[in-house]
Amino acid sequence: MTQEIDELREYLRAYLDGHPFITAVAPKTSRSVKVRLAVYRTKDGKPIGVEFDKKTLQNLWVRAEDATQVALSDTKLTLKKWNGEEWKGDDEGGANHNLKHYDDFPGHDLVRFGVKTKQDARSVLDHLLPKRSKHRYLLKVNGDMHCPDGICRPSLSEDWEGGEVLIPKSGPVRFANDKFTKAPEIEPGDEVLVWTHEYGGHGDGWGLTAIATVGATRQSDGFIAVQLGDVERILHPFGFLDLDDGPTGSRILDAAKARRDHRAWMLEDNDYQEILNLIEKRGARTPEDASEEIENRRLNWRKTRPVQGQFRNALLKEYGERCVLTGCSTLQALEAAHVLPHNGSTVRDQTDNGLLLRRDLHSMFDALLWSIEPASSTVRLSKRLSDNNYEYLDGAPVTQTVSPENLKIHFEQFLKTEKDA
């Protein structure tokens, strides 16, 4: 127990001394120091008294009106009422008398929380802190100089997990009406998108590389160090070199593209959604990636299909509830086929990436036993297909609304498979 309380004591000191919403109040008497009583005040004026000298728990003193709705399972909670001169509890015991020397406590009933674990201590403190909605930021950095261990291109999310990204000491900015203003400071729990400069001489990064949750921040040699937690490396990062020369589709990225300096940009809700849309759009990735997915689907075409829901309903409407090859209108036999395999991106669930097919033709399409020649929009059957019952489909015209690029990728992979057969 002694070791646990020692660790809890150090945790409390570090948390209270380092939290941006909490400030320490100077000791009022030498007695306060002797009994190891420390008093803090939250940003919105709530006092917290802490007795650091206890051996089996740590006492947190707060005003009763500030402690409503704090419910903890393994915490000794005691109410002390102010009688005009001092505090008394039902057991006639009082409160720490040194609290009387701090103006925030006298005149108020007090609650003492005897906490034994970090979790319970944090629950009390979090309740007292002013609530703040989560903010999001784009951190545009030189990977060599500002990323964890100088890693520009993390192979895995774990390469950056727990590491720190350095941003300018001036902090993040808000961009509006072509002007910069100071944005709220980055704090624990905020979300950051990390963009590493992709130009030679500036880190040779990927561009948009990862999304993470902020663990902590600190001052570090002229920078602000932002600790990364819950890192999710974007499966296929992209930068300005991968986007078109015109507008990127993101207001903030357009501004960052015009400036390209080391900066932390605050993201409004619309800015954040625009970047997420780009990530989903990039979910189409490259033709090489899509070809690999098609090949993997061919090799695993027997797997059970997930419920297709909205995608199937959209294709039923798009194609008049009929198979695009046979005209079959038996709904129980019709399935929604992805031209480029589903990869979690909503872009792949649009009608321009789908065909409504009879169940057997869907399985054969996934297995690359047939495809559609883009130039003529006609069926090409595989030489690997031994069943003569499908010969009538070879060369048949197909009325479809698939994206030409998607159709081209599927057909090229079909031809490659035929060549390798």
pLDDT tens sequence across 30-60: 654 545 789 999 888 899 999 987 888 899 9
Taking alpha carbons only, the member of 148, 349, 144, 340 closest to residue 233 is 148
Residues above pLDDT 90, as percent of the chain:
41
Higher per-residue confidence, 36 vs 160: 160
Contact 349, 339 (CB under 8 A): no
Residue with tokens 């720490």: 96
Average pLDDT of the chain? 85
Give the Cα separation of 288 and 274 in Å (integer). Answer: 26
Taking alpha carbons only, the member of 196, 184, 191 closest to residue 142 is 196
pLDDT tens sequence across 61-75: 999 988 765 555 566
CA 124 to chain centre: 26
Give the count of beta carbons closer than 10 Å to the beta carbon of residue 54: 15
Strands across the sheet containing 179-182: 164-168, 223-238, 207-220, 191-196, 136-141, 263-267, 173-176, 179-182
Residue with tokens 């199937």: 312
pLDDT at 303: 45
User: What is the domain partition of the chain in residue ranges?
Assistant: 2-128, 136-283, 287-420
Contact 381, 396 (CB under 8 A): no
Contact 199, 152 (CB under 8 A): no
pLDDT at 308: 57
Q: Which stretch of 6-15, 121-130, 255-264, 330-339 has the lowest confidence by average pLDDT?
A: 121-130
Q: How confident is the model at residue 398 (pLDDT cuts 50, 70, 90)?
A: very high
pLDDT tens sequence across 282-318: 653 445 556 666 666 666 544 444 445 788 999 999 9
Residues above pLDDT 70, as percent of the chain:
87
For domain 136-283, the CATH architecture is: Roll (3.10)
Contact 170, 223 (CB under 8 A): no
Q: How confident is the model at residue 414 (pLDDT cuts 50, 70, 90)?
A: very high
Q: Which stretch of 5-14, 252-261, 351-360 has the lowest confidence by average pLDDT?
A: 5-14
pTM: 0.43
Using the predicted structure, report yes or no on whether residue 207 has a pLDDT greater than 60: yes
Average pLDDT on 93-112 reads: 90
Q: What are the structure tokens assigned to 303, written together?
A: 């797997």
pLDDT tens sequence across 87-99: 998 877 888 888 9
pLDDT at 6: 86
Q: How confident is the model at residue 82 (pLDDT cuts 50, 70, 90)?
A: very high
Beta bridge partners of 168: 223
pLDDT at 294: 67
